[in-house]
Every structure is written in C-alpha cells, then in structure tokens.
C-alpha cells in the first residue's frame, strides 16, 4: 500500500476506513481540510487487492503509513506425534500461532495438510494484519511410529514328519501405521519328529516388532499294520503269537528311519456292551518286543495271545518320541 500526501509523515496514528473494493488508481479526496478528521476517528481498512495510491491534498493532518517492519508471528512449538492411521497421522493438533506488531486484527493461517506422512513436515504459518502486512514462521511436525504390530499365531499345529515350514498357517498381523508389516519365523526347513516351538516375528517399517509362537508337533505317518495283519475282520487263532509290524512314514508317505521312535503296543479288549476296556498286559515271547529292522525301517512286536479270552481286541501303536497313538487296529481271536 502506498500513501502519497503533500506533507511528510510524522505523528498521525489514526487510520481511514474504506468499505468496498476500490480498484487501483481510485482517487480518494477529502473535501475538507484536516480539522474534521481528528486523530482516532478515521481508519484505513482496504479489503481489496492493492496496491492503492491514496492522494491526500490540502490536508492539514498527517497520516502514518502502515508499518511493515514490526509485524511478527510466532509459530507453535515443533511437535512429534504418534501415527494414528496408515502411513502417518491425521487430526494432528498443531497448537496456536501468535502475531504481534502491524495493525491488528490479525488473520492467521497455515499450510498444514490434512494427512501428515511418517517423518517431518514443515508447516508455514502466516499472519496478515488489517494493513495487509504479513509475517511467516515455520513449525516442524514429525510423525513417528513407536507402536509394535499386533500378531496372533495358531497356538498349536500338528504336521507329519518332514513337512515343510510352509505348511504352517500364517499368523494374523496388523499395525496402526504400516499396512503390511513383514512376517518372519525361525522354523526349520522341515519338521523333525516331536515338538518344535516356532517363533513368528512381525516388524513394521519403523522397526517395531512383536512375536508370537506356534508349537508344532510333528508326528509320524502310519497308515496301518503290515501283513500278516490285514484289513478287518482280521482273525487269528487264540493262543498263537501274532507278529504286529509297522513302518512309519513322512508327510509324503515315504518310509523313514524311525529308530528313535521308541514305540510300544497297547492292547484293549473290546466288549460289545461296554466298548474298549483298559489296556491289558502284553507278553512278547523271546524278548523280541520292539524289534527294529534298520534296513527296512520296520518295527515288529510279537503279541503272545496265550491265556487270553476269545473276542475282539483293539491294537494301538504308541510312539514314545512323539506321543502319537495310532489305531485301533482290530484283531479277532477265535478259539
Ligand atoms: Ca507400528
């Protein structure tokens, strides 16, 4: 805004108010000399788009131009905010800027986005006063993610020996800021017989991590007993010694070395009225129980049926290494 007067600026502190939107070059004329325009009674307040040239002639009063060198704005303090949405934060409370100098009242604005991405964004605050002076200041707004992801894994999962780690169900993972945290685990390439505790780790892009575990129980495959056993009804003569043979397999059905399986045989009498009874003691003549043939990976137990009652028996193969219990395999003993 430019003022032109016939006199030098000196002590006048008032303003002249004009309502409307004068175009550049508009001539404002005071029709009387300054005695009617007392200090404090008049104000300049142009709301349009300047610059304006205001010519005051024959005027006895003196008008001070708007100051442009004492307008200041203080931005709110720099802030660090925890992310609250995917990729950053919304609804961030920036605080308030304060302006001084110039000609109040002030209009204060900023260029803050509605969404702040992770990291630092510079927000510029601008104060404009009634005389169209302005001042700017900046505020650093930093969005961080310090919250670990949430991860939920299946507590327990059964696989067949040799199954790859890819057989495991993936955990459920979520994060407030990171749309897809990375998920890793420490599972072996394939599972050995017995129990393996697998730890899953979810990590977000800011390096926060959380873990969960899945207890993997790998058991042997066992499709059935080998001959002379055959599909029921399998009948043997009461009092005979019955060779019970089996081989353990992996998840592909391939016979595997099970020399560490430590299996034993459990036999229960089956009654038509009450079902299976308690395990009965088993005799293995010649101390041949739990024979293992490493060449064919075959286990054999010679079940001595002498002294037992005729009827139906349920055979279970229990593995000491994995705790699995396969069966029942039914055998009919006839007199
Ligand atoms: Ca996070």
What confidence tens digit (pLDDT) does each residue in 29-80 have?
443 333 333 333 344 444 444 444 444 433 433 344 444 567 899 999 999 9
Centre of ligand 1 to C-alpha 183, Å, is 13
pLDDT at 276: 85
Please give the CATH number for the structural domain made up of 235-334. Answer: 2.60.40.10
Centre of ligand 1 to C-alpha 144, Å, is 9
Residues with CB under 5 A from ligand 1 (ion): 145, 147, 175, 177, 204, 208
Give the position of tokens 């739990």: 290
* DSSP category for residue 295: T
Pairing type for strands 150-152 and 88-90 reads unpaired
pLDDT tens digit sequence for 219-239: 999 989 999 888 766 899 999
pLDDT at 230: 82
Centre of ligand 1 to C-alpha 189, Å, is 29
Structure tokens at 116: 């702040």
Centre of ligand 1 to C-alpha 283, Å, is 62
Pairing type for strands 209-219 and 156-160 reads parallel
Q: How would residue 11 be classed by pLDDT, with cut points 50, 70 and 90?
A: very low
DSSP line for 88-146: EEES------EEESSSSS-EEEE---SEEESEEEEEEEEEE-TTS-EEEEEEEEEEE--
Domain boundaries, the chain: 1-65, 72-144, 150-219, 235-334
Backbone angles phi, psi at 203, to 5 degrees: -130, 135
- Structurally, what CATH architecture does the domain formed by 72-144 represent? Sandwich (2.60)
Same fold, 72-144 and 150-219: yes
Centre of ligand 1 to C-alpha 187, Å, is 24
User: Residues 255-271: what's their mean pLDDT?
Assistant: 93
Task: Quote the CA–CA distance of 178 and 202 in Å, as a whole number.
Answer: 11
Task: Quote the CA–CA distance of 139 and 177 in Å, as a whole number.
Answer: 23
Greater pLDDT, 37 or 163:
163
| Domain 150-219, CATH class in plain words | mainly beta
Greater pLDDT, 3 or 36:
3
Centre of ligand 1 to C-alpha 87, Å, is 10
If we measure between CA atoms, which residue out of 245, 232, 244 comes closest to residue 304? 244
pLDDT tens digit sequence for 194-206: 999 999 999 999 9
Average pLDDT, the chain: 82
In order of 172, 188, 306, the CA distances from 168 in angstroms are 12, 11, 47
Predicted TM-score of the model (pTM): 0.70
* 3-state SS, residue 167: helix
Centre of ligand 1 to C-alpha 147, Å, is 4
In this predicted structure, which of 2-11, 99-108, 116-125, 238-247 has the lowest mean pLDDT?
2-11
């Amino acid at each position: 805004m430019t003022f032109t007067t016939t006199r030098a600026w000196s002590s006048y502190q008032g303003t002249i108010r004009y309502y409307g939107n004068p175009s550049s070059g508009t001539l404002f004329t005071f029709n009387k000399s300054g005695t009617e325009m007392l200090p404090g009674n008049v104000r300049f307040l142009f709301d349009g788009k300047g610059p304006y040239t205001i010519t005051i002639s024959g005027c006895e009063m003196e008008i001070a131009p708007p100051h442009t060198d004492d307008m200041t704005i203080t931005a709110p303090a720099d802030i660090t905010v925890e992310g609250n949405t995917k990729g950053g934060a919304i609804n961030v409370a920036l605080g308030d800027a304060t302006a001084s100098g110039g000609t109040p009242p002030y209009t204060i604005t900023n260029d803050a986005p509605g969404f702040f991405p992770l990291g630092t964004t510079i927000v510029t605050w601008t104060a404009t006063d009634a005389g169209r002076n302005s001042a700017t200041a900046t505020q650093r707004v930093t969005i961080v993610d310090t919250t670990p992801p949430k991860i939920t894994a299946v507590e327990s999962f059964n696989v067949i020996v040799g199954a790859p780690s890819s057989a495991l169900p993936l955990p459920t993972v979520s994060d407030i800021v990171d749309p897809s945290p990375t998920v890793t685990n420490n599972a072996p390439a394939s599972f050995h017989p017995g129990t393996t505790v697998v730890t899953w780790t979810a990590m977000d892009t800011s390096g926060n991590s959380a873990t969960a575990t899945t207890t993997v129980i790998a058991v042997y495959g066992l499709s059935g007993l080998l001959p002379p056993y055959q599909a029921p009804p399998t009948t043997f003569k009461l009092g005979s010694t019955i060779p019970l043979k089996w081989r353990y397999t992996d998840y592909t059905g391939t016979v595997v070395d099970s020399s560490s399986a430590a299996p034993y045989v459990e036999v229960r009498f089956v009654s038509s009225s009450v079902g299976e009874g308690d395990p009965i003691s088993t005799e293995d003549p010649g101390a041949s129980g739990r024979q293992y043939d490493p060449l064919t990976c075959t286990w054999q137990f010679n079940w001595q049926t002498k002294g037992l009652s005729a009827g139906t028996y349920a055979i279970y193969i229990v593995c000491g290494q994995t705790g699995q219990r396969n069966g029942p395999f039914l055998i009919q003993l006839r007199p």
